[in-house]
């Protein structure tokens, strides 16, 4: 596969991200915040895609890696002087250790990856419903522990004095890094082997591909990306354990499914589209002007719109907006299969 | 008087056309055989009749009325019973429960003696009444599958390769039962791979290859191996 | 944390009773979830929302000064209607989709219903009024056991017995069992798909309503997240117990409820907030050791997603 032909696969998502960034710069600083959040969500969903999209296995645990990354980056960048107040029970070595912004992101990625590796080693052997429940259990445990353990973080209080270093540029670069890594991975032998297991596990196993190992690699990488995104997120807005729990799990999953879980483009498109709609309806609580037409909705409408939209997509277009396909030049189309298996007959 | 009429039937799965323009009829008190190589479309024909295969053309008529587009359970309740390929016994249910399940296909308002007939034809069913169906041997399961179909007191009996995996002795038992069923007045459509035995048993046998009807044979052709082979390879 | 485990609190009869009650209610929920899974091959994440709706019905019944039996009737009515709507609007169109799509779809329904409730009823919680009196303790052989615990266990046993009779002694029950084993063949034999599915949905709804009554008495505060955590735990229990067979699934639901109740009572005071972690850690361990289910006979079909 010659490099230039496949380049649109990564360039188009990257361009979409840049377009979002420029749009964010163009609007008022009040609205710019929404764009930054969107870009961070892109980073999270791309991480989710690296595992779920390539393996075809559903994981509910991705957000726990985001949480772990957020905790890491947050605890290590809150100003030293404020730590005793912000985190009363914090372990001593965490109180005394502080790192810079970029270092905290790198560490967040590292810890996220290590945690994912530790979790994935036993869990990647499972499939189907068992995998789903097991990853759900990881989410539950992480949420429980991070929410109550004061020795490793703010516990119930959540973060509040983390320096807000994630502006539009940091978020953009972060999203682009995630996209680049995801693209690089799926172009490697590992990525292709994993996709083979998604298409036809039996054939892949017969061909000598270790399903367990390939899934573990993707899972770990996804964990690292998630941790990184978590670091970005915690430097953007105050986060508590419950902000990185079921709702976010659902929303990021919705973004991936609506966009098209089989492709990187799908992940990015889904994140941008869904967060765009979500943000619109959230902002509409305070009345918005759409080309001279006033709209005001009750708080919480955004979630309902999201839920309904997700259901409609699942019923009428389960492959998502992109149909699970990457962007490719019109000459020769290479459809990439998706999360959904062949439909059952009557 | 025709019980089952298949007219110009076409069945297509996605891009693959499994059956092309097939026409046949089965009358009460008649066994019609449907033979042919693997993938010829025999099973698809039966499933199309039952309403569980995508029909793209033609018609299926029961006692003159079209049953096209009806759901499988609807077709079953109109008096057509299928003995599926591989028997598809409910292994975790008892033999008796399997038989009673067959009652689901009874036609409305008919309290026939399907169960009694099934037990009569296959005495082992009564003997193994409370055993789990899964412990039965292949041949016994086949008898159960047929008995289950008969429990619905059907007008038409469809069988999908009943002799598959059975020892010749058991095939004898099964084929003999089919004769009795035919004599009781049912219309029987028998799909089989064992060409010779089927041709010998049935009142007429159709050879299906590549989804098309190639040849129709009578019992006297059973000994004519050349003709059979030629039909298969046509 | 491990050392903390050594300072467990003593096991008492009220704890056991509560654990039995919770196990009983979870067993009912497990059957409700397992029935729908068996017949429709659908894992209903939104089951908790049925319970939430039931809870709100009870709360509003109390608010409108209904008699207790009227509140319960309202609860059943609301839950049944919602159950049927869920089936018609969401499950039916998705019947031919892959298990993953269905899982995500029910997840979406759960999310949707929870937020609709949040929108309509606000985030304040409501109480179930007079029903809460059932939380009062009875004196049994000198031990204080909550009235509700006894009722829950009794009802659970009763419901399960009735259900068992239905499944084994009636034609409908036979059809449902067959449909759960091999839907396609069952239809070919004349089993009416819609009737069997409808029955599963209705029974599942009735069980949800029953669970709602008991859970709401126990918690006495209904909010939009009512029933969600319980459903997740029961789902985990069902998968751990053995998703594909009704009895292991029920046992799984009971076990996880019972374990939760016992752990809740014996964990040292400063560790009780980690109850969730203990339970889910146990879930993971069991899934790793026996992925086909704790109570199955092993060697079940590998499920593919």
* Most confident of the ranges A85-94, A223-232, B134-143, B220-229: A223-232
User: Given B88, B92, B104, which is nearest C190 (Cβ)?
Assistant: B104
B12 touches A at CB < 8 Å: no
CA distance C124 to B99: 56
Q: How many residue pairs bridge chain B and chain C with CB atoms within 8 Å of each other?
A: 62
Are the Cβ atoms of A140 and C232 closer than 8 angstroms?
A: yes
% of chain A at pLDDT higher than 70: 91
Query: H/E element holding B81?
Result: strand B80-83
What is the 3-class SS of B173-219, one letter each residue?
Answer: HHHHHHHHHHHCCCEEEEEECCHHHHHHHCCEEEEEECCEEEEEECH
Work out the minimum CA distance from B209 to partner chain C, whole angstroms.
26
Please tell me the predicted confidence (pLDDT) of residue C303. Answer: 39
Q: What is the pLDDT of residue A57?
A: 87
What one-character DSSP code corresponds to residue A285?
G
- The answer to whether C190 contacts B88, with C-beta atoms less than 8 Å apart, is no
The CA distance from C152 to the nearest CA of chain A, in Å, is 27
- The secondary element (H helix, E strand) that includes residue A46 is helix A29-55
Residue A200 has pLDDT above 90, yes or no: no
By Cβ distance, the residue of B72, B90, B103 closest to C187 is B72
User: Chain B, 58-117: which have a CB under 8 Å from a chain A CB?
Assistant: 72
Query: What six digits make up the tokens of B111?
Result: 């309290």
Q: Which residue has the higher pLDDT, C66 or B204?
A: B204
pLDDT at C123 (0 to 100): 66
Residue of B nearest to A346 (CA): B52
In this prediction, residue A346 carries a pLDDT of 34
- Closest chain A residue to C111, measured at CA: A307
How close does chain C come to B72, measured CA to CA in Å?
A: 5
Which residue is closest to B13 within chain A, CA to CA? Answer: A345
Predicted local distance difference test score (pLDDT) of residue A107: 94
Interface of A with C in 324-343 (CB under 8 A): 339-343
- Which of helix, strand or coil describes residue B26? strand
**Residue matched to tokens 């049994």:** C140
- For A277-320, write each residue's pLDDT tens digit: 888 888 888 777 666 677 777 878 888 998 898 888 888 888 88
Mean pLDDT (chain B) is 89
pLDDT at A100: 87
User: With an 8 Å Cβ cutoff, are B77 and C190 in contact?
Assistant: yes
Chain A residues with CB under 8 Å of C235 CB are: 133
Q: How far is the CA of A42 from the CAs of A32, A171, A232, C112, C199, in angstroms?
A: 16, 9, 11, 22, 43
Nearest CA in chain B to C180: B90
Interface membership of C177 toward B (CB under 8 Å): yes
Tell which wins on pLDDT, A84 or C284.
C284
Does C196 contact B at CB distance below 8 Å? no
**Residue A229 confidence (pLDDT):** 96
Binding partners of C (≥3 Cβ pairs within 8 A): A, B
Query: Does A286 lie at the interface with B, CB-CB under 8 angstroms?
Result: no
C interface test, pick of A48, A61, A122, A137 with most C CB neighbours within 10 Å: A137
Q: Which residues of chain C have pLDDT under 50?
A: 1, 299-305
pLDDT-based confidence at residue B80 (cuts at 50, 70, 90): very high
Which residue from B71, B92, B105 is facing C189, i.e. has the nearest CB? B105
Confidence band, pLDDT 50/70/90 cuts, at residue B109: confident
Residues B141-159 as b/e (b if ≥16 CB within 10 A, e otherwise) read bbbbbbbbbbbbbbbbbbb
To the nearest whole Å, the CA of B13 is away from the closest chain A CA by: 10
pLDDT band at A336, cuts 50/70/90?
Answer: very low
Pairing assessment for the beta strands B4-13 and B156-160 based on DSSP bridges: unpaired
Which pLDDT score is estimated for A290? 67
Q: Give the model confidence (pLDDT) of A14-31 as tens digits.
A: 888 888 888 888 887 777
Among A192-196, A272-276, C66-70, C206-210, the range of highest mean pLDDT = C206-210
Q: Which of A77-86, B73-82, C192-201 has the lowest mean pLDDT?
A: A77-86
Q: With beta carbons under 8 A apart, name residues in chain C contacting B101.
A: 174-175, 178, 186, 189, 191
pLDDT exceeds cutoff 80 at A217: yes
Q: Cα–Cα distances in Å, from A7 out to A11, A45, C100?
A: 6, 21, 31
Binary contact (C181, B90; C-beta < 8 A): yes
- C185 vs B71: CB contact, 8 Å cut-off? no
Show which subunits contact B, needing at least 3 CB pairs below 8 angstroms.
Answer: A, C
Q: Which of C5, C70, C44 lies closest to C200 in space, CA to CA?
A: C44
Report the pLDDT averaged over residues B227-231.
Answer: 73
Give the strand pairing for A293-295 and A288-290: antiparallel
Q: What is the pLDDT of residues A230-259, one digit of tens each?
A: 999 999 999 999 899 988 999 999 899 888
Interface of B with C in 37-96 (CB under 8 A): 50, 52, 71-73, 76-77, 81-82, 84, 88, 90, 92-93
Does residue A5 carry a pLDDT above 60?
yes
Q: Which of B90, B100, B148 sits opposite C182 (nearest CB)?
A: B90
Chain A residues inside the 8 Å CB shell of C291: 125-126, 130
Q: With beta carbons less than 8 A apart as the criterion, state whether A53 and A197 touch.
A: no
Looking at per-residue pLDDT, the higher value among C137 and B187 belongs to B187
Distance between CA atoms of A96 and A84, rounded to whole angstroms?
Answer: 10
Q: Is A89 on the interface with C (CB under 8 A)?
A: no
A343: nearest CA in chain B? B14
Strand B30-35 and strand B204-209: the pairing is parallel
Q: Measured between CA atoms, how close is A112 to chain C, in angstroms? A: 19
B82 chain-C contacts, CB cut-off 8 A: 188-189
């Amino acid at each position: 596969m010659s490099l230039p032909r496949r380049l649109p696969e990564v360039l188009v998502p990257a361009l979409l991200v840049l377009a979002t960034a420029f749009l964010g710069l163009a609007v008022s600083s009040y609205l710019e915040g929404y764009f930054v959040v969107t870009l961070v969500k892109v980073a999270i969903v791309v991480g989710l895609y690296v595992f779920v999209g390539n393996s075809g296995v559903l994981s509910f645990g991705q957000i726990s890696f985001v949480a772990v990354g957020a905790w890491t980056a947050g605890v290590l960048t809150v100003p030293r002087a404020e730590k005793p107040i912000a985190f009363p029970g914090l372990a001593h070595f965490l109180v005394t250790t502080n790192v810079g912004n970029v270092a905290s992101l790198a560490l967040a990625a590292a810890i996220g990856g290590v945690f994912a590796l530790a979790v994935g080693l036993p869990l990647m052997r499972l499939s189907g419903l068992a995998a789903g429940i097991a990853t759900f259990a990881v989410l539950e445990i992480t949420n429980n522990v991070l929410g109550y353990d004061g020795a490793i973080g703010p516990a119930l209080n959540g973060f509040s004095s983390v320096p807000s270093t994630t502006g539009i540029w940091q978020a953009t670069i972060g999203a682009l890094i995630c996209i680049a890594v995801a693209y690089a991975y799926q172009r490697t032998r590992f990525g292709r082997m994993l996709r083979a297991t998604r298409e036809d596990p039996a054939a892949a196993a017969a061909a000598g591909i270790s399903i367990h190992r390939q899934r573990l690699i993707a899972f770990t990488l996804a964990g690292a990306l998630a941790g990184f995104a978590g670091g970005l997120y915690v430097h953007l807005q105050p986060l508590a354990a419950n902000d990185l729990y079921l709702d976010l799990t659902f929303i990021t999953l919705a973004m991936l499914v609506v966009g098209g879980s089989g492709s990187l483009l799908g992940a990015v498109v889904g994140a941008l589209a869904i967060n765009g709609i979500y943000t619109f309806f959230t902002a509409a609580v305070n009345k918005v002007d759409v080309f001279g037409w006033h709209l005001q909705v009750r708080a919480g409408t955004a979630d309902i719109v999201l839920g309904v939209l997700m259901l409609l997509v699942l019923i009428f277009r389960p492959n998502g907006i992109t149909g699970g396909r990457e962007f490719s030049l019109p000459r020769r189309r290479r459809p990439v299969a998706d999360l959904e298996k062949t439909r059952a007959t009557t | 008087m025709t019980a089952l009429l298949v007219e110009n039937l076409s069945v297509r799965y996605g891009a693959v056309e499994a059956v092309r323009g097939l026409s046949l009829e089965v009358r009460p008190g008649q066994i019609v055989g449907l033979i042919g190589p693997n993938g010829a479309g025999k099973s698809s024909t039966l499933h199309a009749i039952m309403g569980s295969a995508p029909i793209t053309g033609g018609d299926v008529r029961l006692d003159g009325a079209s049953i096209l587009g009806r759901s499988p359970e609807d077709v079953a309740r109109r008096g057509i019973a299928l003995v599926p390929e591989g028997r598809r016994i409910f292994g975790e249910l008892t033999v008796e429960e399997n038989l009673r399940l067959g009652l689901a296909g009874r036609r409305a308002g008919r309290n026939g003696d399907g169960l009694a007939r099934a037990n009569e034809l296959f005495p082992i069913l009564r003997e193994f009444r409370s055993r789990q169906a899964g412990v039965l041997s292949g041949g016994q399961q086949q008898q159960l599958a047929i008995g289950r179909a008969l429990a619905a007191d059907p007008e038409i009996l469809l069988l999908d390769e009943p002799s598959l995996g059975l020892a010749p002795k058991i095939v004898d038992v099964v084929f003999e039962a089919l004769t009795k069923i035919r004599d009781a007045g049912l219309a029987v459509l028998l799909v089989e791979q064992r060409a010779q035995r089927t041709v010998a048993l049935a009142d007429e046998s159709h050879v299906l290859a590549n989804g098309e009807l190639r040849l129709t044979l009578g019992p006297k052709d059973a000994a004519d191996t050349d003709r059979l082979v030629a039909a298969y390879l046509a | 944390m491990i050392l903390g485990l050594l300072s467990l609190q003593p096991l008492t009869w009220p704890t056991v009773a509560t654990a039995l009650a919770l196990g009983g209610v979870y067993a009912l929920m497990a059957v409700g979830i397992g029935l729908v899974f068996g017949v429709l091959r659908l894992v209903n994440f939104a089951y908790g929302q049925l319970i939430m709706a039931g809870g709100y019905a009870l709360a509003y019944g109390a608010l409108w000064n209904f008699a207790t039996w009227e509140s319960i009737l309202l609860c059943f009515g609301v839950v049944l209607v919602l159950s049927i709507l869920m089936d018609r609007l969401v499950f039916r169109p998705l019947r031919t989709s892959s298990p993953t799509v269905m899982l995500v779809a029910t997840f979406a329904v759960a999310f949707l219903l929870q937020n609709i409730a949040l929108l309509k009823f606000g985030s304040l919680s409501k109480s179930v009024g007079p029903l809460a009196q059932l939380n009062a303790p009875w004196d049994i052989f000198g031990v204080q056991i909550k009235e509700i615990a006894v009722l829950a266990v009794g009802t659970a046993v009763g419901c399960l017995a009735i259900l068992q009779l239905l499944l084994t002694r009636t034609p409908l029950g036979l059809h449902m069992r067959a449909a759960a084993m091999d839907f396609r063949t069952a239809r070919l034999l004349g089993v009416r798909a819609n009737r069997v599915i409808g029955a599963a949905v209705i029974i599942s709804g009735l069980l949800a309503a029953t669970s709602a009554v008991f859970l709401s008495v126990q918690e006495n505060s209904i909010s939009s997240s009512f029933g969600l955590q319980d459903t997740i735990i029961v789902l985990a229990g069902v998968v751990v117990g053995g998703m594909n067979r009704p009895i292991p699934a029920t046992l799984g639901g009971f076990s996880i409820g019972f374990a939760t109740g016992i752990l809740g009572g014996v964990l040292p005071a400063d560790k009780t907030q980690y109850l969730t972690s203990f339970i889910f850690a146990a879930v993971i361990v069991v899934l790793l050791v026996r992925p086909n289910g704790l109570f199955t006979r092993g060697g079940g079909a590998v499920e593919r997603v």
